[in-house]
């Protein structure tokens, strides 16, 4: 299995700015990844395995999420307002809170805090 980031770039969401948008590959395996506060604006996350990933306070503006697996992902405080192809079933499978910013076309799941 290939890593989700180029060898020279280091892990996704690390470094001084915790930026990742140019280093994530579609279909990335990010199971349980610590992406707290990551700059994921415009990231191509289609088909990514984000199961139990920590995306608290991440900026997912314009991130492409078609087919991304968000089961048990932590979305507390994440900005998803302009995420592309985000669906209600993806949100329902994730965890978030009142600070999570959602597109106006999607509903906050009842199990969220």
pLDDT tens, residue order, the chain (113 aa): 444 543 334 445 444 445 554 568 888 999 999 999 999 999 999 999 999 999 999 999 999 999 999 999 999 999 999 999 999 999 999 999 999 999 999 999 999 98
Total Cβ atoms within 10 A of residue 92:
15
Q: Which residue has the tokens 């076309």?
A: 105
Spatial distance between the Cα atoms of 64 and 67, rounded to a whole number of angstroms: 9
Question: Can you give the length of the chain in residues?
Answer: 113
- Map residue 75 onto helix, strand or coil: coil
Q: What is the pTM of this model?
A: 0.80
């Amino acid at each position: 299995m290939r890593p989700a980031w180029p060898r020279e770039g280091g892990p996704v969401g690390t470094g001084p700015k915790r930026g990742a948008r140019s280093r994530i590959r579609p279909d990335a395996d990010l199971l349980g990844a610590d992406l707290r506060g990551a700059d994921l604006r415009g990231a191509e996350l289609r088909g990514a395995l984000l199961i139990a990933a920590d995306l608290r306070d991440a900026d997912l503006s314009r991130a492409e999420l078609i087919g991304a697996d968000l089961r048990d992902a932590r979305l507390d405080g994440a900005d998803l307002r302009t995420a592309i192809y985000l669906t209600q079933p993806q949100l329902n499978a994730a965890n978030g809170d009142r600070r999570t910013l959602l597109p106006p076309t999607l509903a906050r799941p009842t199990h969220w805090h």
